[in-house]
Structure 1
Amino acid sequence: YPFCTIDPSVGIVPVPDERLDKLALLSKSKKVIPAVVEFVDIAGLVKGAAEGEGLGNKFLSNIREVDAVIMMVRTFEDPDIIHVHNKVDPLFDIEIINLELEKAGIKKPTLYVLNVSEVAGQISPEFKEKIPGPYIEVDPVFGTGLDKLITASYNLLDLITFLTTGEKESRAWTTPRGSTAPRAARAIHTDFEKNFIRAEVITAEKLLEAGSYANARAKGWVRTEGKEYIVQDGDVIEFLV
């Protein structure tokens, strides 16, 4: 069907991160808190949505509120699953949706998610070459590709993860790519940004290699960084405020 719901459904999903799990084991953390991505499932657009067809104005309004678009595209044949155009033509579907978004003046970072079926076989390289942007393949029936979808969505938003770790908790924090240390500290608390003095930084890989903060400090792997430092994905940080 063109759409089976009117109101958006919201889901908050943890971002898989082996570094966080390993740091939690290293620190014997009582709690482990991952970074998350919020997904908003919005009803599908049909041809003419920008002119109000199929409740298009409402659905386009929902799309305007999000930061990026994941376009789920069916690529498999199944007579038991009805297609709105009575045929499976993923490139045509992509073209229709992109045209409606363009007519509505909506331009968002977009990830194309190819809804595949292991039973139906592989997608041809020729088809993949025609997809107008980054894409991944997901098979919801077998659950393959879901972790890739979460990670790709996180990257689509141009976010990175920095980490904190200790006996109380190990936690993954989200900050925009290119954030300075004070800007990243805002993720913990706005006071951390305002009162920032310096940050002690080590990569998760180096801390895990060292086996402890004490060993990492002894090896000179823990760096002191100031307000101009650009936080990198995978940094483990202690903020002094």
Structure 2
Amino acid sequence: RECNAIIHVLRCFDNDNIVHVDGNVNPIRDKETIDIELQLKDLETVEKRLEKTNRAAKTGNKEAQVEKALLDRIRETLLAGKSARTVVPQNQDEEEMLESFQLITTKPVLYVCNVDEASAVNGNKYVDQVRELVKDENAEVIVLSVGAEADITELESYEERQMFLQDMGLSEPGSAVLIRAAYKLLKLQTYFTAGVKEVRAWTINIGDTAPKAAGVIHTDFEKGFIRAEVIAFEDFSNYGSEAKVKEAGKLRVEGKEYIVKDGDVMHFRFNV
């Protein structure tokens, strides 16, 4: 219930040596099984909350009446076999209430289709079925060959891993695709700090300002923020060093209102 998102892995491959608990491969059924379990749990939560809210609403409490109306809509949705994420809040108050309920089926979902090695590039009939089923869910579907990923991790050298990927027709490991998809789902991004001793990557929310991003390193950085020296990742990659970036006039000085971009290389000035 405390999680921010759900990654739902679905079996999308045939293999007689790996027995499916339900006897045959059917990702649509598997998805619906989990959906029903989560919906029933949310229904239990909603009905418990309605018991309290109904009493308050009867006394004329306006906030309770608004909450009751929203809970009633969610309950009807769940009883219809749909997830709570399909309930669209009508205003800011409802949006905040819906979030406070912490319902499992309001969490954003990423569907991972676990396929055989031969289907790692283009998917297969099972993947097509999943994509068709979730097309209205506003959810991303990615294809991943978990068996192949396990084999890749056992290879010692980078060259061996790249050769393995090329033989499969892939340009990168599926784990990289999964990480990017998860970041997108959670609305996260990365910026870098580069010093003499180390280079570090820091995870922040998309839309965070420079002081907010600095606060991820240490709260003093945010409190005493003065300015940020910023190099776009593309510029750093093109010029190859901080010195050459400065020579080209590509280093920028940004203030408190600057919205950090994905991949920014930053150096913070602060005083506490």
TM-score (norm 1): 0.68
Letter in 2 for 1:141: G
Residue 228 in 1 paired to residue 257 in 2?
yes
Considering fraction of residues, name the structure with more helix. 2
**Whose strand fraction is larger, Structure 1's or Structure 2's?**
1
Amino acid at match of 1:130: L
**Matched residue of 1:214: which SS?**
helix
* 2:82 maps to 1:76: no
> Which residue of the partner structure matches residue 135 of structure 1?
141
Structure 2: 5+ residue runs without aligned partners? Answer: 43-103, 150-172
Report Cα offsets for 1:91-122 as digits up to 9, x if no partner.
Answer: 11112212322332212111000011125794
Aligned CA RMSD, in angstroms, stands at 1.9
Give the paired residue count: 178
Task: State the percentage of identical aligned residues.
Answer: 46
Q: Look up the equivalent residue of 1:112 and give its one-letter code.
A: Y
The 8 Å contact of residues 77 and 120 in structure 1, kept in 2 or not, is answered as: no
Distance across 1 between alignment mates of 2:204 and 2:2: 20
Q: What is the aligned partner in structure 2 of residue 48 from structure 1?
A: none
2-structure distance, mates of 1:120, 1:112: 16
Pick aligned residue for 1:208 from 234, 237, 260? 237
Hey, what does 2:181 align to over in structure 1?
Answer: 152
C-alpha deviations, 1:186-221, integer Å up to 9, x for none?
Answer: 111111111111111111111232233232223221
**1:120, 1:208 → 2: CA distance?**
33
In structure 2, how many angstroms separate the alpha carbons of the residues matched to 1:222 and 1:135? 38
Query: What is the CA–CA distance in structure 2 between the aligned matches of 1:112 and 1:134, rounded to whole Å?
Result: 6
The CA distance in 1 between the partners of 2:254 and 2:35, in whole Å, is: 44
Q: Which runs of 5+ in 1 are unaligned?
A: 1-63
SS in 2 for 1:163: strand
- Deviation per CA, 1:64-87, whole angstroms, max 9, x where unpaired? 122211101001222332322222
Shift of 1:123: 1.1
Q: Which residue of 1 aligns with 2:113?
A: 114
How much does 1:130 deviate? 2.3
Output the amino acid matched with 1:117: D
Supply the distance in 2 between the matched residues of 1:150 and 1:215 (Cα, whole angstroms). Answer: 31
Give deviations 1:150-196, integer Å, cap 9, x for gaps.
22122221110001112211111100111010111111111111111
5 Å-filtered alignment, 1:41-120, equals 64-105=1-42, 106=104, 107-118=106-117
So what's the TM-score if we normalise by structure 2? 0.61
Relative CO higher for 1 or 2, CA cutoff 8 Å, sep ≥ 6? Answer: 1
Q: Classify the secondary structure of the residue corresponding to 1:156.
A: helix
